[in-house]
Amino acid sequence: MRAALVVMVLATGCAAREAGIEVVVQASVVNASSNVARLNITRVRGVSCLEFMARHLSPVSTAWAHGAHSNAEASPLSADVDVSLELSQPAPAPIATLRPPPGTWCALEVTFGPSASKDTWGGTTLLIEAQARRYVSNGSRTIQLPFLARSLSAAQPRLDLRVAVDAAPLASIDPAAPDARLELLDTLMTSLSVSLSE
Amino acid sequence: MGAEQPFAQRVRLATTLRAWQQDEGIASLDAVRLRELRLDLTASWSPTAWLTLSLNVPVQLREHLAINLERQTALGWGEADVSARVVVSGAGQLRPKALVSVIGGVRLPSALTLRDREQRPLDIDAQLGAGGLTPQLGVAWSGFFGDRWSAMASLTAEAALEGRSGLRMGPAAVLVALAQVQPVRWFGVRAGVDARGELPSFVDGVADARLSGLLGSLLADVVFSLGRQAVLLAGVRVPLLDTRPGPVHTWPIPVVSLVVDL
């Protein structure tokens, strides 16, 4: 009986897959805009606590939240994406699933940049259509969103990160004001937050 | 098995157990650790003194560990080898000084495509073979020098057809050359080289040269004769020369084998 079982297992083969560490990144909108508005995310990256502390303890100041950064080499801590977030829709949108090695994270870095889409918002980072006018920004911004240190290991393999974009500032900005496009994008950058769950 | 002098109507059974481990990829990016425990079950039959027919079926337990600790495990039959060895020089002699053989065979895509509980196929590196029919052709030489010394060399070439997931393994050649000394009837030691050279593989027609190149290992074995009909071998293959661009690292491979004549 036992021999027959062994032969049967070998004849049909036997396979198993144990999921490893996974970090699921989603984005959601609070205070959704009443106008058509899209914000494009091009990259997400987990920031180790070592890197995070080194950056923030460094005596050399950095203007980290402004401008694009060129250290976009491939890494299991990051994912290049092209997700246009509808700022009029509060439902969470999946951004990426990262499969990093064990480590301890202290922040999520999010890069906003022009969309590669061939639709009407292609080439734009932020697009707002209001009062029959169109406001566009094609700048790039990278921002780190800190959270309490979280260990990723075989014992704690799963982490859900939700980036919240508060669209309320869009309602208070006068789109007709000078330099409104830059102001809109930078204002949105100050409205970001991240929450995490197991 | 494969270098000895055949005798008409001899049936020979062998089991070989080996454990290997290979680390691939960049540690901070896409590192993968492959480990396998492999048991080869071999049967051969010599209908005449110059022809030997062989069947080898491996049973493999393979583990694929990704950088994010995802673990894929596979257990089952691997890819079976069917081969014929024709002794073209030295056959039928009572104490030949040398044997020269030609070996032809084929590796069959007998390993199933293994899937996890959600019916997703395991990664190609976690499967128990590339899944491509692989013709093989080789030559072997054995030399016997007195009662104590012998030597063996074989060169085998193989060229795989396309297997699962669009993978076609690169053509490869395997050279094994060793010398053996048997100071007493029941015990011997042997040492030599075990080298494999491989051209780039292709995945969906795109060349992948990461694991192509030459891997040369030093082999060292001890051999025990267990009576007149059984031989026990234990040894190790230690990689010394590796020209594969990788990044790849192959660990030493321990081997234990038992051969029984019926």
CATH code for the domain of B17: 2.40.128.130
> Which of the four pLDDT bands, split at 50, 70 and 90, describes residue A172?
low
CA distance B120 to B220: 41
- Could you tell me the two tokens for A22? 């996974």
What sign does the dihedral B180-B183-B184-B189 (CA atoms) show? negative
Q: Please answer yes or no on whether A14 and B76 come within 8 Å at the CB atom.
A: yes
Residue that the structure tokens 């993978």 belong to: B167
pLDDT score of A71? 47
The residue with tokens 């180790």 is: A48
Q: How many domains does chain B have?
A: 1
- CB atoms < 10 A from the CB of A44, how many? 24
8 Å CB contact of B67 and A76: yes
How far off is chain A from B41, nearest CA to CA, in Å? 13
β-bridge partners, A86: A38
**Domain ranges for chain A:** 24-197
B-chain CB neighbours of A11 within 8 Å are 76-77
pLDDT in the model for residue A176: 62
Q: Is residue B127 part of a domain?
A: yes
CB A51 within 8 A of CB A104: no
Cβ pair A70, A156 in contact under 8 A: no
Residue % of chain B over a pLDDT of 90: 76
- Residue B1 — very low, low, confident or very high, per pLDDT cuts 50/70/90? low
Average pLDDT over residues A3-13: 73
Domain membership of residue B184 (yes or no) is yes
Say yes or no: A9 contacts chain B, CB-CB below 8 A: yes
Mean pLDDT in residue range B194-212: 89
Per the CB < 8 A criterion, the answer to whether B17 and B41 are in contact is no
Residue A70 is predicted with a pLDDT of: 41
- The rounded Cα A121 to chain-centroid distance in angstroms is 19
Are A39 and A186 a contacting pair, CB within 8 Å? no
pLDDT, position A174: 63
Residues of B in contact with A17 (CB under 8 A): 70-73, 116-118, 120, 122
Of A13, A74, A102, the CB nearest to B114: A13
Work out the pLDDT band at A20, boundaries 50, 70, 90.
Answer: very high
**Containing H/E element for B81?**
strand B81-89
Coil, strand, or helix at residue A150?
strand
Domain range enclosing B106: 10-261
Asked if the structure places residue B98 within a domain, the reply is: yes
Question: Which residue has better confidence, A30 or A182?
Answer: A30
Residue A53 clears pLDDT 60, i.e. is over it: yes
What are the φ/ψ torsions at residue A192 (nearest 5 degrees)? -90, 150
A65 pLDDT band, cuts 50/70/90, is very low
- Asked whether the beta carbons of B256 and B233 are under 8 A apart, the reply is yes
Report residue A153 as tokens.
């290991």
The model's confidence at residue A66, banded by pLDDT at 50, 70 and 90, is very low
Question: Average pLDDT over chain B, rounded to whole?
Answer: 92
pLDDT in tens, B27-47: 778 889 999 999 999 999 999
